Structure 1
Amino acid sequence: MDTAAVAEEIWDHYLPPSTKKWLDDTSGGRGRLFFAWLCGIHDCGKATPAFQSVDDEGAEAVRRVGLTWNAHAVKRNPWRHDKAGAMILRTLLREAGWDAQQVAWLWPLVAGHHGSFPSVGVFSGRITARGEPQGKGPAWSEVQRALVETFTRLLGYEGLAEVQPTAVPSRAVQLQLSGLVVMADWIASDERHFWGIDNLADVSLDKARSRAADAWESLGLRRGWGVLGLPASDAFRERFGQPARPSQDLVIRTARHMPAPGLLIAEAPMGDGKSKAALLGAEVLAARFGADGVYVGMPTQATSDPMFSQVRAWLAKLGDGLAEQVTLLHGKRRFNKEWCALLREFDGDADGRFGSVAEDERSRSERSLCEDDEPERKGPAAWFLGPMRGLLSPFVVGTIDQLLYAATRTKHVMLRAAGLMGKVVILDEVHAADVYMSQFLKEGLRWLGQAQVPVIMLSATLPPAQRQELVAAYLAGAASQEEFDVRDLPEPQGYPNVTAACLVDGRAVYDVAHVGQWREDLKVAVTVLPETPSSGTSNKSAAGGLVADLIEERLAQGGCALVIRNTVPRAQETYRELRGRFGDEVRLLHGRMTAHDRAEKTEACLKLLGPPAEDGPGRPRRLILVATQLAEQSFDVDADLLVTDLTTIDLLLQRLGRVHRHDGVERPERLRKPEVVVTGFAPQRGQVPWILPASEGIYGRYLLLRTAAVVCQAEGGRWLVPRDVPHLVRKVYDGEPGLVPPDWVGAEQEAYAEWQSKQGKRARSAEDYLLTRRNEHTSPTLDGLHYGAAYGRVTDETLQAVVRDGDPSMEVVLIRGDDRGYRTLGGRWLGVNGEALSQELLEEVLGATVRLPPKLTQAAERDLAPLDGWRDHPWLKHTRVVILDETGAAALDAYTLRYDEELGLIVEGGPQWHGRRRR
């Protein structure tokens, strides 16, 4: 009754209109009643010996009324109440006359409410097993039947037969409903609001509803915008203070005309305002199809932070309090100042405890980092901050990993599904997904398509094959098919463009259109700065001096240059060279800086090179920013000159998006025309070009060779950006022969064979973790969804490694230590064992988090551990520590680690170097 009463609160104050419609359609218009019954019935399996024997006093009371069991048999043959409940319902629903297909989809929701869906085979032999796990003798069956029937009639049904749905929901909706059952269960398990009742006379549905209402109010759970009206024609100007550009208007018009929920892909130049178009497009789709919120998935944590601010500003225009309901979801959110300020508003009463659900100490600790003396209820409800619950918040900004996690065969995946379904999903920079990540992305699109969740995907440009794969995945899900033929999908004929696809009466409906650009093409000069290996090795190059010479010449009159390197050591080496020549005019930004330093340096760079602002520090006369791929995506800086290592053409064009990005910027005469200088390779007449081995290790030789050919063809000329963008991407990715010079053909063919083999292996390696196994996408129920799930290998801590390919890397905290105890990286005392942790010190400790290179992962797992004083700390008990000595160094395996405030983490040595040193 408690859980059913919570379900009624969820219906009244949380469920999106689209989900209510599903439930009404499934239950003959009685969606609220059916939903309450579905949530409430989930624990009927507790009326079995295995559960009733847990408490000695309760067990004795049960025995006194004649319900018996063989204690030894029950102990030898444990039978969890989730599976027992499913078995009870399978029997009772059949006896009540339910259709087999209705029974088949409903029992897994009961069997799976503890996080995983078993196969129907789990019931085999349970009735005849020694000790009869469902209960010995007819009395147990009578009690189980009475429990289910009594609860059913209390809710308002005349009997169990009347509960039978009138339609079978799709498998995706079943997964969403399962997640909502878990949500209701967890809330009703909170002993602060649902305390135990000893007197049977006090057990009533009215009192359960009263407790549920109090719990809901206390937890502060809220829906999104509820029923949203269709935005007016001038809504874009109202939301963002400027008229819509042609490409933005095209996205919004396409959303208005889509005949059904579907997938909308928007391709437009970097800096064209795709994100704003997507947000208003989400309003349109939500109003038309009953969504109650949004999830915005970004490629990285760094790109999520500015989007968090943008989404909050947008929602502030839609209604009071909506901006405070946005949840930021990524591992470094505690270093986001805006998020931390929002946390200060939390009501400290909601501490995340839910009965049998483990207390969420980490979310409590995160809130305590930013406690306020006089908190008032604002911000997302604290309940949403718990593990696996973030996507249930009505508005979410985070990394795309949140969607990818929902496509993995891991426990409690139904909670993630419930959070996504009922929203509009926006995915930015989708071209950044490699072949491995794409397997999870396409799996997620299948489920979203089947659930009729509107999805907006954004990209500067997509290779045609990738565009087709994304559309095919969404439509295959919508059609509940293993594959969907999209060969008739038109290819965009202009740029910017949109591709919209949805399913109407089982038939694909496409809308592919393009518009003109809102500003003139940039005529970007293309220059090659040849680079060859030096010292007879392939891993070192004389690159720093070459780049320094070029920048000294180009920036003689001043100006701002962006230098992007493909690896951290290369960026550090270049920074050292440039710093020696230009002093304080050089900045460095990469992923191996501590969380605090990286956040501070990123913010400083955005202020100096971001959009012109009246209250900003102003653009420096001369500045050189050296960065890694961090500057590649959603990094809103404007450089006069770009120097970049060779990368694949789509990413090269992404990097170009940082050049002459903003209007109204005063530039030196020498730099008034944009230029990209490509280095990291060396064209050689009559020979295959040398390419930096580290770049080949990251991007593969095949696409780099084809990109190098395109760059060499443009040498001394210009690219028209954005006009040439789709054409350039197509040339590299379509695989057509004749692109590379004849002398390269043999190397290209060899590289292609290797690339194709690796792509296939990487795609297949994802299959072990995908939510749906091969050839099971047409399964009508959740029966056996978790069969073969790799629980031993997949945890919350390792999920990111599951959905993102590559060698695993590890984050550690840097601490200073000596024979007297430990200090923070900044020198503040932590105690003899690290135990002296105030909230202020905790924030400083966590700010010293840094990611190690993958080559050190095994050594870190073997040799690093938390400090002794951290063993019971919610944030730090699993945190490995690198202890720097008085010289600022630490040994790890054969390597020496140092941290420099300017350079970040420096890794020296290695097995070969260590061996030479020993000799």
Structure 2
Amino acid sequence: MPEYGPASGERNTSLVDLGFWAKERGLRGQVYPLVCHSLDAAAAALVLWREYLSPGLRETIASAMEVDEEQAGRCVAFWAGMHDVGKLTREFQEQTDVDLSAYPGEELSGERRSHAAATGQWLPFALPSVGYPDSGPVTWLVAQLLGGHHGRFGGHPDPGSRNPLLGLGFTSSSWEGQRRALLNAVFGAVGRPEPPHMLDGPTAAVVCGLVILADWLVSQEDFLLGRLGALPADGSVPELRAHFRESEQQVPDLLDSAGLRPITVSPAPFTESFPHIDTPNGLQASLAEHLPPLCTGPGLVLVTAPMGEGKTEAAYHVADLLGAATGRPGRFLALPTTATADQMHSRLKAYARHRAEHADPERPSTLALLHSMAWLNPDYAPADAPGVSTVLADADRRDPFAATEWLMGRKRGLLASWSVGTIDQALMAVLRAKHNALRLFGLAGKVVVVDEAHAVDPYMQVLLEQLLRWLGALDVPVVLLSATLHHSIANSLVKAYLEGARGYRWRRSEPQPVPEVSYPGWLHADARTGTVTRSADVDPAPIATTPREPLDLRLVDIPVRDSRPDRTEALRAELAPLVERGGCAAVICTTVAEAQEVYDLLADWFAEWGANAPELHLLHSRFPNRQRTEITEAIVDRFGKDGAREGRRPRSAVLVATQVVEQSLDLDLDLMVTDIAPVSLLLQRAGRCWRHEHLGIIRRPPWARRPELVVLTPEQDAETDGPPRFPRSWQAVYPLSLFQRTHALLRRRDGTPVRIPDDVQRLVDGVYDDDSLAEDLEADLDRMGEELAKRGLARNAVVPDPGGVGSSLLGLSEFDFDVDEHLLATRFGAGSVRVLCHYVDPAGRRWLDPDCAVELPEKGTGRGGRFTVADCRDLVARTVPVRMGLWFDRLAEDNRPPEAWRESFHLRDLVLVPQRVTEEGAVLPTEAGGREWLLDPRKGLVF
């Protein structure tokens, strides 16, 4: 087919001019030719298609394009090669000192556009020259996905006039001839693939992620510098195709060095996968026996069971089954917090070492850890690494799953074959934020496991539902785990996945409501048919669980004076047996400030007992990062399974904490005393009481006859004889109506022990569903109004449904109203900053420690005073996360970091709060932002 430049009407027979450049940064004064970068990207996409994409994802993309996988791969390679054609414009090329005298015209009038936007504008009118339709979804979506390779999508060009390219600034026949020559060079190099018959929005978004990855891989300075010495002699077809073939040979090494090789496991019997488990428990055995016949393709599995019932091992096993059924060996495990993600990363790496096939230390396949503080984790990024570890120094001890420097870069972690992170990392894929398509691509070849699925508020639930719709549309299998999931939320999550699933959407029928959730149990939702199968449907016999003593649950009234709860008498009464005769207990407070007060209260009381006093520990979120990690490790060591087995469990101890102990900490207490909270959270806390009783490794004190949860609740209102007046500080954490409903529900039980698992689902559902529990209609309406508001905000922040994307990707980037992208968040009202408390001596010198022995560094230890990774780790490990508030806007200039710190991504946004040190060495609180701050070595940051 002859190629005509629509701006000139002349046949284009020119060679590609190697003088046009694409890359120059870091190339020591040289430039890298545009056509070479285009061919590199095409070669990288082809290699990624064959060696990186999971078989299931290749099948999903090819099926959506209605072509075979070979043709689909070559189409994608062609598209990747065209991503930077927008650089073949005067406005881009004149950014360097390049002679453009042979190419007159195309002076842009008006605002300068990005080269990505130029790519998206030009391609719809050029692709027909190689067989694409003159209009329609395939042509438009290819142009749009390539125009979005910098993370944001633009709209379709307006055809407008008879020759719309003139209106877009493509006015010169000489420039147009070069663009056409570039297009034909790439098209020929990849084998002149026929255009696909179809393309839809979700598939186009995922392909955009692949294009971005290909571009990033071949844009690395080391790769470009290595290729500069062997550039084509001219722009002839043989020279360019030789360059393309050489790039194909070199790209696999880029995958190796980046840690992008797949981690694969094959399904195995449960006991083979987990040799430390002699006999699977009832839940695990049920899944192992009855789930495999249902796993014939993509689907969602929801597992509900009490705390400590082996859901993690069950999830690994289910993921292996679903991964094999869908050709998706990748994994992403989503956890509610950074601490739980850190713990799961260690567990999953141990599982990978046992089960992964072909683990090669010479070709590491990174098992990534994804959250903002992951780089501080020595198990993930060892402290002795110059930037980030690729392998351990000792060749015999190389870790085949170690972090690579490339994957530790921003926005890249989800591209690792296996990864663990906070749920936020996945939810960002459905926010209208930059590079959301790259995150979708990172998830599309994996089995996605969401642990603690109940730990989402209404805002996050909307995001999770939308994520499940997109995962369903992309054939991604999902595993949801929960110990306390309300039936309506379970129904919403399963329904969302089925709404998105391609096969179900084509049935043109609404997903049916989920039958009653089995507890404990599981259900499987088939993405192809929409069929939901419960464990009770395949085996009506109840699933056996670990034998547990009934949980004694007592309400204890405490006075509230000036909206401040007084726990003094209650704690003395409940903890007296422990103080006198030994045992281990936890006291859970609603706020950090109250936990600090209780710590002081107990410390004063225990001091009366001298050497016989119980140990006293405190854990909350306002400790410096390093200290919090040390405290967490210490209490797990003292109160956990291993500590009991190895004789480290204390004779007598009390842990004072906030909600941070609710999830994923291996703690076993003889007694749990807690402020009242929504009933689902009380049950989570109770999961740390007598957690390992079935193992027979803990000797209980005589007073602990069975697990006991003591719930502290405000006294009834003496004036009105109405419901308790819950402190304002508590209502800032949980809705008032949930306090009232939980209080009424527990009062109604009148001390009846809680049977686990029998009573769990009934309690979790009942606190919301039983209208007779509503003691204050206004509080109920306030809660429902707040939930509706949060859901509304979330719906404004998420991308459209996958079925609503159609032939335009603009909805993934564009808002119907003005919004600052930086205000988009995966959690409602969760904005926080990291505060570094430092110490100022009487002479005005600044130090990092209260002993004034370690100076606060004005500059780093790297070349030119730059801060090294080790420097940043040491400083950030001393910081405390603090929620944003009015105080932040009142900070002074001296609360900003030193000038040299602002060059570092990790340090530039820290808030510095001085602590004055007297001549006698005392540390005094200091005002900053209108509040007083004191970093107490025992209690953490005190306001």
TM-score normalised over the length of structure 2: 0.85
Deviation at 1:862, TM superposition (A): 5.9
* Offset of residue 387 of structure 1: 0.7
Indicate whether 1:546 and 2:570 are aligned. yes
Alpha carbons 1:489, 1:510 under 8 Å: kept: no
Aligned mate of 1:390, from 396, 400, 413 = 413
Contact 1:409 1:772 in 2 (8 A): no
Tell me which of 738, 742, 753 is aligned to 2:772: 738
**Partner in structure 1 of residue 33 of structure 2:** none
2:485 corresponding residue in structure 1: 462
Residue of structure 2 equivalent to 1:273: 310
2:740 corresponds to 1:705? yes
- Equivalent of 1:755, from 783, 803, 816? 783
- Are 1:286 and 1:423, in contact at CA under 8 Å, matched by a contact in 2? yes
Q: Write the mapping of 1:53-68 to structure 2, written as runs, cut at 5 A.
A: 53-60=94-101, 64=102, 67-68=103-104
- Going from structure 1 to structure 2, the CA distance change for 1:676 and 1:117 (only over 3 Å counts) comes to same
Shift of 1:250: 2.8
Residue 518 of structure 2 is aligned to residue 477 of structure 1? no
Structure 1 unaligned regions, length at least 5:
349-363, 908-919
Check if 1:331 corresponds to 2:372: yes
1:431 aligns with 2:447: no
Q: Note if 1:516 corresponds to 2:543.
A: yes
SS in 1 for 2:754: strand
In structure 2, C-alpha distance between the alignment counterparts of 1:305 and 1:866, rounded to whole Å? 28
Separation in structure 1 between the aligned mates of residue 703 and residue 857 of structure 2, nearest angstrom: 58
> Is 2:365–2:417's contact at 8 Å kept on the other side of the alignment?
no
Q: What's 1:28 paired with?
A: 68
Q: For residues 598-649 of structure 1, what are the alpha-carbon distances to aligned partners after superposition, in whole Å with 9 as ceiling and x for unaligned?
A: 0000000000111135874521111100110000111110111010111111
Gaps of 5+ in 2: 1-38, 608-613, 862-866, 918-922
- Tell me the distance in 1 between the aligned counterparts of 2:501 and 2:476: 10
Tell me whether 85-94 or 423-432 shows the greater mean CA deviation. 85-94
Distance 1:126 1:53, change over 3 A: farther
2:49 match = 11
Contact kept? 2:560, 2:715, Cα under 8 Å: no
Give the letter aligned to residue 164 of structure 1: P
Is the Cα contact below 8 Å between 1:293 and 1:422 reproduced in 2? yes
- The answer to whether the 8 Å contact 2:916/2:924 transfers is yes
**Alignment of structure 1 residues 357-376 onto 2, 5 Å:** 364=387
Question: 2:213 maps to what in 1?
Answer: 183
- Residue 685 of structure 2: aligned partner: 655
Shift of 1:381: 2.7
1:146 aligned partner: 181
CA contact (8 A) 1:809 1:857 kept: no
Picking from 820, 833, 837, the partner of 1:793 is 820
Letter in 2 for 1:532: P
Task: Flag the 1:844–1:164 CA change in 2: closer, same or farther, 3 A.
Answer: closer
Aligned residue number for residue 92 of structure 1: 126
Q: 1:719 aligns with which of 737, 754, 761?
A: 754
- Deviation larger for 294-303 or 45-54: 45-54
Paired residue secondary structure (1:636):
coil
Cα pair distance change 1:221/1:851, threshold 3 Å = closer
Could you list the per-position Cα deviations for residues 363-407 of structure 1 after superposition, in whole angstroms to 9, with x for gaps in the alignment? Answer: x4x669x99699968513321111111100111111111011111
Structure 1 match to 2:434: 411
1:421 has 2:452 as partner: no
Contact 2:799 2:811 in 1 (8 A): no
1:789 CA drift (Å) = 8.2
Residue 881, structure 1, aligned to residue 912, structure 2 = yes
Change (3 A) 1:739 1:110: same
SS at match of 1:732: helix
Structure 2 partner of 1:913: none
Contact 2:872 2:907 in 1 (8 A): no
Mapped partners of 1:126, 1:117: distance in 2: 25
Deviates more, 1:117-126 or 1:84-93: 117-126
Q: Which residue is 1:293 aligned to?
A: 330
1:669, CA displacement in angstroms?
Answer: 1.7
Matched-pair contact (CA < 8 Å) for 1:521–1:723: no
Change (3 A) 1:500 1:763: same
Deviation at 1:548, TM superposition (A): 2.9
What is the alpha-carbon distance in structure 2 between the residues aligned to residue 636 and residue 76 of structure 1?
Answer: 62
Spell out, residue by residue over 1:485-507, the C-alpha distance to the aligned partner (whole angstroms, 9 max, x if none).
44442113x421112212325x4
Give distance in 2, aligned partners of 1:335 and 1:102.
45
* Distance of 1:555 and 1:904 partners within structure 2: 25
Query: What is the TM-score with the length of structure 1 in the denominator?
Result: 0.87
Letter aligned with residue 458 of structure 1: L
Amino acid of the residue matched to residue 15 of structure 1? Answer: L
* Distance verdict in 2 for CA 1:790–1:6, change over 3 Å: farther
SS of residue in 1 equivalent to 2:204: helix
Instruction: State how far apart, in whole Å, the 1-side matches of 2:441 and 2:869 are.
Output: 34
Residue 490 (1) aligns with residue 515 (2): yes
Give the conservation status (yes or no) of the 8 Å contact 1:230–1:288: no
Matched ranges for 1:132-143 at <5 A: 133-143=168-178
- 2:398 and 2:578 map into 1 onto residues whose CA distance is 54
How far the C-alpha of 1:133 sits from its partner, in A, is: 4.3
Query: Using a 3 Å threshold, how does the CA distance of structure 1 residues 737 and 249 change in structure 2: closer, same or farther?
Result: same
Q: Residues of 1 paired with 2:890 and 2:452: CA distance?
A: 32
Letter in 1 for 2:575: I
Q: Could you say which residue in structure 2 is the equivalent of 1:531?
A: 558
- Aligned twin of 1:42: 83
Cα-to-partner distance string for 1:442-498 (whole Å, 9 max, x where unaligned): 111111111010110100021111111101111111148699744442113x42111
CA contact (8 A) 2:466 2:798 kept: yes
CA distance in 2, matches of 1:444, 1:600: 35
Deviations 1:55-79 (A, max 9, x none): 342423xxx2xx32153xx153434
Question: Does the alignment pair 1:306 with 2:343?
Answer: yes
AA of the residue aligned to 1:688: P
Say yes or no: does 1:580 pair with 2:601. Answer: no
Higher deviation after alignment, 455-464 or 92-101 = 92-101
- The answer (yes or no) to whether the contact 2:500–2:803 under 8 Å persists in 1 is no
Q: Give the letter for the 2:649 counterpart.
A: R
Distance 1:179 1:710 in 2: 49
Per-residue CA deviations over 1:340-370 (Å, capped at 9, x if unaligned) read 33x75x6x6xxxxxxxxxxxxxxx4x669x9
Q: Is the 8 A contact 1:28 1:166 kept in 2?
A: no
* 2:61–2:203 contact (8 Å) kept in structure 1: no
Whether 1:80 and 2:108 are equivalent positions in the alignment is no
1:669 & 1:145 partners in 2: Cα distance?
Answer: 86
The 5-angstrom pairing of residues 164-243 of structure 1 reads: 164-168=195-199, 170-195=200-225, 196=228, 197=231, 199-200=233-234, 203-211=239-247, 213-214=249-250, 216-217=252-253, 220-223=257-260, 225=262, 228-232=265-269, 234-238=271-275, 240-243=276-279
Distance in 2, matches of 1:11 and 1:825, equals 52
Instruction: Give the match for residue 772 of structure 1.
Output: 800
Question: Once structures 1 and 2 are overlaid, which stretch shifts more, 716-725 or 864-873?
Answer: 864-873
Secondary structure of 2:179 counterpart:
helix
Preserved CA contact (<8 Å) 1:104 1:781:
yes
Q: Do the aligned partners of 2:588 and 2:659 also contact (CA within 8 Å) in 1?
A: yes
Task: Confirm whether residue 445 of structure 1 aligns to residue 485 of structure 2.
Answer: no
> Is residue 112 of structure 1 aligned with residue 148 of structure 2?
yes
Deviations 1:226-265 (A, max 9, x none): 6643323643443x44332111233344542234311111
Q: Shift of residue 692 of structure 1? A: 2.7
Residue in structure 2 matched with residue 360 of structure 1 by the alignment: none
The answer as to whether partners of 1:816 and 1:883 remain within 8 angstroms in 2 is yes
CA RMSD of aligned residues (A): 3.0
1:704 to 1:125, Cα distance in 2 relative to 1, 3 A: farther
CA shift digits 1:294-352 (9 cap, x unpaired): 110100011111111110111111135389621111122234332233x75x6x6xxxx
CA distance, structure 2, for counterparts of residue 229 and residue 205 of structure 1: 39
Pairwise CA distance, 1:778: 5.2
Partner of 2:712: 679
SS of structure 1 residue aligned to 2:258: coil
How many percent of aligned residue pairs carry the same amino acid? Answer: 27
